[in-house]
Structure 1
């Protein structure tokens, strides 16, 4: 990315670069066929589950003003808009833990003030989002994202580590809370007796670690030594959503004499109930916020803007790591400008804003790169079998696979085709072909084992 602090130049360059490959972003996905559903479902669940958890955390910290309905609505709305208008399609947007913490701090500040309170909390956060959007507009226009090139890889990884620690903190805190009596609940209810609370907490631990371990294990299914190839591939592709469904089913096993509240489930208000319409009146309540608090909203807005600038940019940077070998240009400036509009929109309708999230963004790129690796491998296997059926020599076989590889490396309209090709044949393969008396003689699988040697020919483009 070219460093430029000339106003609007960075946005202009981003738009110019991304518009040239906008069509290819869509057609490339459709060309992948039904296999694109594997990374799609994987990222869907990897994004939805944390957002639901953050919604429960917000519901608890804001006394029910914000719930999982609002966090899901924000993630869906911002994600759909970004998928059509965003510059970097690999970037995944969602409500992140730092946003939850900021909204918790703002609610604790507002709830005890009589001229603000719970009634005008969302209206005041609307003003915070207005200020945040203005600051993001200025950062994008003035080319502040040019500084992202000066962030070292370790800076981005450390920020990712911070996000991971926040995830772990909330996970541990959530498990501990399963042994306690929730606030705003009837403490005399049967499920809150000490013995049932202990049972609920232990069952929560079983469900949590069961889902975690089985989901991680399913991602490595292709390397299992048991099961047919198609079954192992299916589990590797769809193991995460399958495990979510399986362990959700396990959670419904307790019945009969077990109290209804065990295990505890996420409370989600009816989105069509009268109280659900309060978010649409936020913009109407914003003029009722006292002027002092409108001006004071600039302080948390500054913190959120700096946080979003760094979080959004680092998420985009990690989604475009060097080992992914991406060839399309980045779009840091334009995406930050679009984030400003999304933040403004979310603030005006009373939902927490969404921004680029870690680790979902690099996970998205890795899942797509793995998919392309699988499609490329299947293409080379088919090419090799076809060449062998035509009694091709080893050199002809290798040439056919090299040509098929180059055809799969679709060049951009403004770039030359990639010069990268397959790795060289192993010396043992060449020597075995030579020992048969003629290097140009037809080869079979005794000389070139397709299933084993294809992986050695493919260049390593992504680390699973």
Structure 2
């Protein structure tokens, strides 16, 4: 596409959005019908992608809680992921994305918190209100980028650029995992070192348990994914383990973490702190819009500066992830929807900002996981003609329904906080 052609596209507001909307309308019904007709097969990719989405969000929520002194926590990151995920799965043009709160968002919100805490006019009390104004400006910029067809530049990004970007996100996830394991050997911020569970021997035991559990989940999950190639067990059992092994391994190792002797003090191993849904620290986030009017006018306009950086980050992150989900080897039939998705991302950012939540965006394509899960049973069928396994590309069906179920699980996960399933 020539430079002049791109300039013409930018001079035609709403052109890209209208084109994307028409393309999605043509195949929208088929996506839902295919998902409903797929039966129980849709559960395997749904549960797998749910854990692939929820576990990093929980980890980044813990990091955000430490960096913002509890102003934001796992509850908010899970709520943001669930809300944005449900909206995107129902209305999104490219639902083959894993939405969530990732490291870049955590870094930006940590900066916003430190800036607010250092200003008497804002302080910790108005941190979320000022962050809400940042989200308002970010949403406005994203909407303008969508209206003026800025997503046309995505065609200039090559395959290697997308793969390098995906590698960067993966490295950030691994970095956070390693950082989390190391932190289990230390005393958490604002905790008393005189408590029994923070004595050296118990901190050391807690750290070793975190290493065992983390490596155990990783190793057994990877092994279960290859269950279809095992030489023992029935075909049905191997297929079941391959499809549902990852969630089963997470549940198994979580159960093992509770199998500790009575002599071990409470709090070893440590668990994620999740406030009750009706606690003041949690309810406040849903009414943060009331405090946005208390933010001084100067800081309202100053919020435009970080909004420019966040808008650029989200635009690039979301669009490149969408491009990665549409590689030729996935054999997708549905058209792309870059402009419309950026528009929807703007509205989701606005909703999160007004609710006092960190916004979620598409961080990684889910299609490699959904493609493998939904098609693995077909790929392992023996060909009667040559006695070899058939290999081919299949279009994953029910991607919108699967995403809806996955994010509904996030809502249920937040609801479990009422019973303090994962709390201290």
The number of residue pairs the alignment matches comes to 389
Aligned pair partner of 1:255 in 261, 276, 280: 261
- 1:176-255 equivalence runs, <5 A: 176-255=182-261
CA deviation vs aligned residue, 1:118-146 (integer Å, no higher than 9, x gap): 00000000000000001001100110111
Q: Give the corresponding residue for 2:369.
A: 367
Aligned equivalent of 1:279: 285
1:459 aligns with 2:395: no
Given that residues 323 and 461 in structure 1 are in contact (C-alpha distance below 8 angstroms), is that contact kept between their aligned partners in structure 2? Answer: no
Q: Choose the corresponding residue for 2:31, options 25, 28, 31.
A: 25
Deviations 1:134-178 (A, max 9, x none): 100110011011110100111111111211221122111111111
Are the aligned partners of 2:59 and 2:177 in contact in 1 as well (CA < 8 Å)?
A: no
* 2:41 paired residue among 32, 35, 40: 35
Change (3 A) 1:190 1:18: same
Q: Deviations over 1:224-260 (max 9, x none)?
A: 1221111111111001100000100111111311010
Match of residue 165, structure 2, among 156, 159, 162: 159
Cα offset for 1:19?
A: 0.2
Unaligned regions of 5+ residues in structure 1, if any? 385-444
Q: Say whether 1:76 aligns with 2:78.
A: no
Alpha-carbon distance change, 340 to 259 in structure 1, aligned in 2, over 3 angstroms? same
Q: Given the alignment of the two structures, is residue 112 of structure 1 paired with residue 118 of structure 2, yes or no?
A: yes
Which deviates more, 93-102 or 202-211? 93-102
Measured on the aligned residues, the alpha-carbon RMSD in Å equals 1.8
- Say if 2:69 is the partner of 1:63: yes
- What's the CA shift for 1:376? 4.5
SS in 2 for 1:66: coil
| Match runs of 1:140-151 below 5 Å | 140-151=146-157
Structure number with bigger Rg: 1
Distance in 1 (alpha carbons) for counterparts of 2:220 and 2:307 = 41
Q: Note if contact 1:110-1:118 (Cα within 8 Å) is conserved in structure 2.
A: yes
Asked if 1 retains the 8 angstrom alpha-carbon contact of 2:45 and 2:374, the reply is: no
- Report 1 or 2 for greater relative contact order, CA contacts < 8 Å, sequence distance ≥ 6: 2
Q: Aligned to 1:21, what secondary structure does the other structure show?
A: helix
C-alpha distance in 2, partners of 1:160/1:193? 40
Kept in 2: contact 1:214–1:243 (CA 8 A): yes
Residues in 1 aligned to 2:370 and 2:104: alpha-carbon distance in whole angstroms: 27
Q: 1:177 to 1:138 in 2, by over 3 A?
A: same
Contact residue 44 and residue 374 of structure 2 kept, 8 A = no
* 1:325 positional shift: 1.0
Provide the C-alpha distance between the structure 1 equivalents of 2:99 and 2:175, rounded to a whole number of angstroms: 22
Kept after mapping to 1: 8 A contact 2:379/2:392? no
Secondary structure of 1:116's counterpart equals coil
SS in 2 for 1:212: helix
Go from structure 1 to structure 2 and tell me whether the alpha carbon gap of 1:276 and 1:257 turns closer, same or farther (over 3 Å shift).
Answer: same
1:332-370 per-position Cα deviation (integer Å, ceiling 9, x unaligned): 100000000000010011000010022xx2xx2123323
Counterparts of 1:339 and 1:28 in 2: how far apart (Å)? 25
Q: Deviations over 1:383-433 (max 9, x none)?
A: x8xxxxxxxxxxxxxxxxxxxxxxxxxxxxxxxxxxxxxxxxxxxxxxxxx
Q: Is the 8 A contact 2:138 2:308 kept in 1?
A: yes
1:312-345 per-position Cα deviation (integer Å, ceiling 9, x unaligned) = 0011111111110111101110000000000001
Aligned equivalents of 2:226, 2:374: Cα separation in 1: 17
Q: Does 1:268 align with 2:201?
A: no
Instruction: Give the secondary structure class of the aligned counterpart of 2:97.
Output: coil
Cα drift, residue 377 of structure 1: 5.6
**Superposition pairs for residues 408-447 of structure 1, below 5 Å?**
none
- Runs of 4+ in structure 1 displaced over 4 angstroms? 374-378
SS in 2 for 1:27: helix
- Aligned equivalent of 2:109: 103
**1:245 to 1:371, Cα distance in 2 relative to 1, 3 A:** closer
Q: 1:376 to 1:162 in 2, by over 3 A?
A: closer
- Does 1:346 find its partner at 2:352? yes
Pick from 168, 179, 186 the counterpart of residue 174 of structure 2: 168
CA contact (8 A) 2:64 2:73 kept: yes
